[in-house]
Chains A and B, each alone.
Chain A
Amino acid sequence: MQEAMPLLEVKNVSRYFGSLAAVDDLSFEVCQGEVFGIAGPNGSGKTTAINVITQIIPPSKGEIFFDGHPIHRLKSHDICHLGIARTFQQPTVFETMSIADNISVGGTFGKKGARDGAAEAEICRLLDFVGLDKDPDTPAKKLIVNDKKKLMLAVALATNPKLLILDEPCAGLTTVESKEIINLIKKVNDLGTTVMLIEHNMQVLMNISDRVMIIDHGTKLCQGTPDFVCCDARVIETYLGRNSVKGGKTFAGAE
């Protein structure tokens, strides 16, 4: 997996808020076809890092390349056109629009110059894919949290991304709902879409990620395979805690 071509390259990126460095000289690569997990304590700069990649907030310094293109000076919509889609920690949908119209936005504007919108069959296919069994004319504001998360994912997938960035997709969900989302992420990845996800639930992260990066104070603490990361002394000290390693078993082996 590590020998695959890097799809996303983040080089020495920093983001300052006044004197606070939310992301501090961060560098990493996401390879084509992998599931790349990011974890770290609260306030470690995970969400800021993906906000910088998707240009919701511009980086203070550093360079970001996607598929060979420099994207650190582009706008969010241009980055989407290149093939990066994302979801948010809070379920964010177009509340006053119907489920179908939400997905149609992704299909209509996801590619540069595309104006046809997602066809009815494509909307149904995506709803079926994410497991959202609702009338497409239902207003998005009437959905429960789990369904909104699925719809948010469907909107992102409608843009036909090469890289899907997920910000805590299981946050606020029950165990059953989380499993549903995990299976969905696996399905997306199996179809060839590279996935980068932030997740607090280490069991989730370790089980579906090919590689994991741990961030603390905006900088990279450790990066590697789930087994490697879980055994790293600094990760155990600052994030996982000593109780995470019992009898040689780590999160990676947990079900």
Chain B
Amino acid sequence: MLTKSSNKMRPVYIVLVILLLLVPLIIRDDYLMHLIIMTCVWGIVATNWNLTLGYGGMFHIAQLTFFAVGGYASGIGAVTFGASPWLGLLIGGAAAMAASLVIGLPSLRVKGIYLILLTYAFHNGVSELVNHFRDYTGGSMGLLVPAFEAGSVSFVTHPSYYYYMVLPLLLFSIISTRLIEKSFIGKALMATRDSEVLASVSGINPYKYKLVTFITAAFISGIAGAFYASYLGVIGPEIFSFSLIVNGLGMIVIGGMGTLFGPIAGSFIITFFMEVFSSLEDFRPILVGAVIILALLYAPNGVVNYLGEMLAKIKSRKLPGQARESGE
């Protein structure tokens, strides 16, 4: 009775994964590889943000706080305590989880504009902490984070190594989102999004399921933050900028809120346009904003939903033709 489309799509997904694995063999240009890696990083953040926002209806901006906390935690771990960047990934994930508890426990009791404001307050609070503890965080100068190494091989000269690190994390984000969506947690989450009151009187504890998802999404974003810091070699206070919040939300909305692949499509589009407009410096956020507005005007439900609707239209047009061919 319920959808069997995922089984039908399995071969397509397998081919897609194989193609993704072949990307570094096809693309030899380091700059293009960098763009693809950044698309993957933002894809991870947007996918996990979408899990709470798109599936759970929690309108918050804490995902970037978790990303920043993960980056700074792994950076501090490496610089102050000499932890390897590999261990930094775990430190980043754990720190983001801890932050999600501190933020989520009080914030998830409210919703709508109150949740946005509370999480924005926490976001600014963490930014202030970073500025205050500048001995550890580097303050406005940022923190130089060591690159990943395997034995004596530094990843800096091998972008493809970074790609093979970030790709599994992106795939893990997609798969975990899918598994949560299909599990009783996803059912509770989507029911709560649709009607929190009806969900409550139907036996769902909305707060519990929101918090569980919030923490899960924070953990993966924290790891992504740690990867980001080590990949770029630096993490600075610009990670808390408002334009990054707009870009992150734009990725989800442009791609398709509450869809599995929407945030990745959105992160690809935003990263692409960020680079196209890179020479325009101060005008870049305005132009990216214009792209978001245009996308919302022409595909208000997101690019993925728009493409799905187009495909359905094409299929429905083909059907009468097929009927004629068969002589009906």
Query: Which positions in A face B, CB cutoff 8 Å?
Result: 54, 56, 75-77, 79-81, 85-86, 88, 92-98, 100-101, 104-106, 108-112, 115, 117, 120, 123, 136-137, 152, 155-156, 159
Are A76 and B201 in contact (CB-based, < 8 A)? yes
Are B195 and A80 in contact (CB-based, < 8 A)? no
In the complex, chain B residues whose CB is within 8 Å of the CB of A112? 203
**Does B187 sit at the interface, judged by CB under 8 A?**
yes
Kindly identify, within residues 171 to 214 of chain B, every residue whose CB is under 8 Å from any CB belonging to chain A: 184, 187-188, 190-191, 193-195, 197-205
- How far does the alpha carbon of A56 sit from the alpha carbon of B203 in the complex, in Å? 12
Closest CB in chain B relative to A224 CB, distance in Å: 29
Are A159 and B203 in contact (CB-based, < 8 A)? yes
In the complex, chain A residues whose CB is within 8 Å of the CB of B203? 77, 80-81, 106, 108-112, 159
Task: Classify the interface of chain B: helix, strand, loop or mixed.
Answer: helix
Are B198 and A155 in contact (CB-based, < 8 A)? yes
Known: A137-B2, A155-B202, A159-B203. A105 touches B197 (CB 8 A): no
Question: What mask results when residues 1 to 24 of chain B are scored 1 for a CB within 8 Å of chain A, else 0?
Answer: 111000000000000000000000
Known: A94-B191, A108-B184, A117-B184. A101 touches B2 (CB 8 A): yes
Kindly identify, within residues 201 to 250 of chain B, every residue whose CB is under 8 Å from any CB belonging to chain A: 201-205
Are A76 and B200 in contact (CB-based, < 8 A)? yes
- How far does the alpha carbon of A54 sit from the alpha carbon of B198 in the complex, in Å? 11
In the complex, chain A residues whose CB is within 8 Å of the CB of B201? 54, 56, 76-77, 79-80, 85-86, 156
In the complex, chain B residues whose CB is within 8 Å of the CB of A109? 184, 188, 202-204
In the complex, chain A residues whose CB is within 8 Å of the CB of B200? 56, 75-77, 80
Contact of A92 among B3, B195, B204 (CB under 8 A): B195
Which residue, of B1, B199, B201, B205, has the highest number of chain A Cβ atoms within 10 A? B201
Are B204 and A94 in contact (CB-based, < 8 A)? no
Closest CB in chain A relative to B159 CB, distance in Å: 40
Q: Residue of B at shortest CB range from A106? A: B202
- How far does the alpha carbon of A78 sit from the alpha carbon of B255 in the complex, in Å? 38
